[in-house]
Structure 1
Amino acid sequence: MYTHEKQVRTQGKPLSETGKALILIHGRGATAASILPLAQELGADDFTLFAPQATNNTWYPYSFMAPADQNQPALDSALELINETVQSIKAQGIASKDIYLLGFSQGACLTAEYATRHAQRFGGLLIFTGGLIGQELNTSNYKGDFEGTPVFISTGDPDPHVPVSRVDETVKQMEGMGAKVSRKVYPGRPHTILQEELELARMILASKE
């Protein structure tokens, strides 16, 4: 088992100019460099981009639906890397309402898990095919209030990794903590991101709430 080295790629104008941060969290077997171009497709030119890199390109070794202890200590290390990234952005004077988190697949699960453990008014959460982590949800891990944070969450039906039932559990948990969730399930969709998903995510990034 492993812990993650602190590697975070940045792109775009400095935070002092943009005042907004978008953290992009890659999926299993991918890289920080491979998810950064997604920001262009989302029209996020006026955001400063941050993309953490998983050691060995994988955030945790087993399925996100495995018993949580099987994915330790990699999972806690991954969550800590996301937290360090968020805290470093806040230390530069950026409020949580101007911090957006995006993830795909394994990265989407990590996005959901991190945000729900640290619920606050984020700018938005873009959870492309993911859900909360664990064989069963450990609700004692989830703390805070989303205060109306807009959330987009999706999966395919069926999806080889992310069942609709877990997406629904995730929606219920987040809504109970004050999030405004938009849930999309796409029949027969492969494990990818569709143009419609990008458009819905773009709306959250462009929102002036």
Structure 2
Amino acid sequence: MFTLKPLIIETASPPLMAVIWMHGLGADAHDFENIVSQLNLSQNKNFRFIFPNAPVRSITINNGSPTRAWYDVKSLTDLNHEDEKGIRESNQFIETLIEEQMNSGIESKNIFLAGFSQGAAMSLFTGLRYPKPLAGIIALSGYLPLPEKIKTERSSQNQTVPIFMAHGTCDTIVPIQLPQYSKQCLES
């Protein structure tokens, strides 16, 4: 299912920190590759950016049209019908990417998970459950999937992981109520 190799960009060698950045629904690994140059990281900031590709799957809200997606989307307003199987499959894939970075010598505490929209949802889902401490989570225009399960599934290692969430008030795809509810779940 996850067959394409991720796009990898290093700011300097050897990389000491990693950012695994997941794209949104219908995009691909190249969607945010320009962010690396826009961040103007100095040469002494040795980052490896990993931009993986979600698999192509049928998306219910798009009349079953196949597109790159971390999981199926059945509704943008009802979280009671989420694609738990697809979310958990993508979670396993992202955990594999984290493990690959650790095997290359980057400690888990130096790995960030980031994403946009559906990728933001996966960065929150995976980062909060990962069994080793992470550097942080960046979630842009996303929400926490399966929020009712976070209390029992959240890793003790990432109880205090720094989280940056941002969401535009004019977002016509992900309703502002979803990240607001996610924030409430994370704070409770």
TM range (shorter): 0.7 to 0.9
Indicate the residue corresponding to 2:19 in structure 1: 22
Change (3 A) 1:89 1:95: same
1:95-114 → structure 2 map (5 Å cutoff): 95-114=107-126
Change (3 A) 1:149 1:111: same
**Would you identify which runs of 4 or more consecutive aligned residues in structure 1 move more than 4 Å?**
63-70
Q: Check the 8 A contact 1:52/1:81 in 2, yes or no.
A: no
Q: Deviations over 1:131-162 (max 9, x none)?
A: 1013x522333222336432210112253333
Change (3 A) 1:81 1:121: same
Q: Check the 8 A contact 2:121/2:144 in 1, yes or no.
A: yes
Percent identical among aligned pairs is 23
Inter-partner Cα distance in structure 1 for 2:95 and 2:77: 22
Q: Deviations over 1:16-47 (max 9, x none)?
A: 61211111111111110222111222234631
1:66-145 → structure 2 map (5 Å cutoff): 66-67=78-79, 70-118=82-130, 120-134=132-146, 137-139=148-150, 140-145=152-157
* Offset at residue 7 of structure 1 (A): 2.8
Q: Check the 8 A contact 1:116/1:174 in 2, yes or no.
A: no
User: Runs of 5+ in structure 2 lacking a partner?
Assistant: 57-67
3-state SS, counterpart of residue 149 of structure 1: coil
Inter-partner Cα distance in structure 1 for 2:86 and 2:164: 26
* Offset at residue 64 of structure 1 (A): 6.3
Indicate the residue corresponding to 2:65 in structure 1: none
Matched, 1:8 2:6: yes
Aligned pair count reads 172
150-159 or 58-67, which deviates more: 58-67
3-state SS, counterpart of residue 24 of structure 1: strand
Indicate the residue corresponding to 2:59 in structure 1: none
Q: Deviations over 1:170-204 (max 9, x none)?
A: 3344456xxxxxxxxxxxxxxxxxxxxxxxxxxxx
Q: Check the 8 A contact 1:61/1:71 in 2, yes or no.
A: yes
Q: 2:175 aligns with which of 155, 158, 163?
A: 163
Q: 1:32 aligns with which of 29, 33, 43?
A: 29
Normalising by structure 1, what TM-score?
Answer: 0.70
Inter-partner Cα distance in structure 2 for 1:119 and 1:64: 29
84-93 or 142-151, which deviates more: 142-151
161-170 or 95-104, which deviates more: 161-170
Change (3 A) 1:101 1:144: same
Inter-partner Cα distance in structure 1 for 2:11 and 2:71: 31
Inter-partner Cα distance in structure 2 for 1:76 and 1:54: 13
Q: Give the aligned CA root-mean-square deviation in angstroms.
A: 2.6
User: Runs of 5+ in structure 1 lacking a partner?
Assistant: 177-209
Q: Check the 8 A contact 1:99/1:123 in 2, yes or no.
A: yes
